[in-house]
Amino acid sequence: MKETKIGDFEETLLLLVGILDKEAYAFKIAEEFESQTSRAVSIGAVHSTLNRLTEKGFLESKMGESTAERGGRRKRIYTITASGQRTLQESRDFKIALWNQFPAFAGGKLNFNI
């Protein structure tokens, strides 16, 4: 799949950005990833993935204000672009379509209706 748009980890982070909304900055994303998956991530891996996602045009970001807390450095807040949104949507549609064809999954469980 040469033209693959997005990897698994990337897709998860992209979704987490969408979920975290205003709170979508690297550290929080890493924390959320760990809490949702019970798997460890290094913050570096998160940063480099967010960068990649930005290069691909799926995310954009801007620096937030520095908060008056200890270590309150300014955070870079990420948001999903239209293209990222579309990618997520397509990926989801495709997966659901396949799942619905797979007898082991198709048992009336997931009926996708837009």
Partner DNA sequence: ATCATTACTTACTAAAAAGTAGAACAAATT
Partner DNA sequence: AATTTGTTCTACTTTTTAGTAAGTAATGAT
Contact status: 113 vs a second copy (CB under 8 A)? yes
Partner touching 68 among DNA, a second copy, none, CB below 5 to 8 Å by kind: DNA
Contacts with 11 (C-beta within 8 Å, 6 or more apart), sequence order: 88, 91
At 29, give phi and psi (nearest 5°).
-60, -45
Contact status: 72 vs DNA (CB under 7 A)? yes
- Give the alpha-carbon dihedral of 26, 28, 29, 30, to 10 degrees: 90
Contact status: 57 vs DNA (CB under 7 A)? no
Contact status: 99 vs a second copy (CB under 8 A)? yes
Q: For the segment 2-21, give every residue that binds a second copy (CB under 8 A).
A: 3-4, 6-9, 12, 15-16, 18-19, 21
Contact status: 43 vs a second copy (CB under 8 A)? no
Candidate segments 22-30, 58-66, 67-75, 105-113, binder of a second copy by CB under 8 A: 105-113
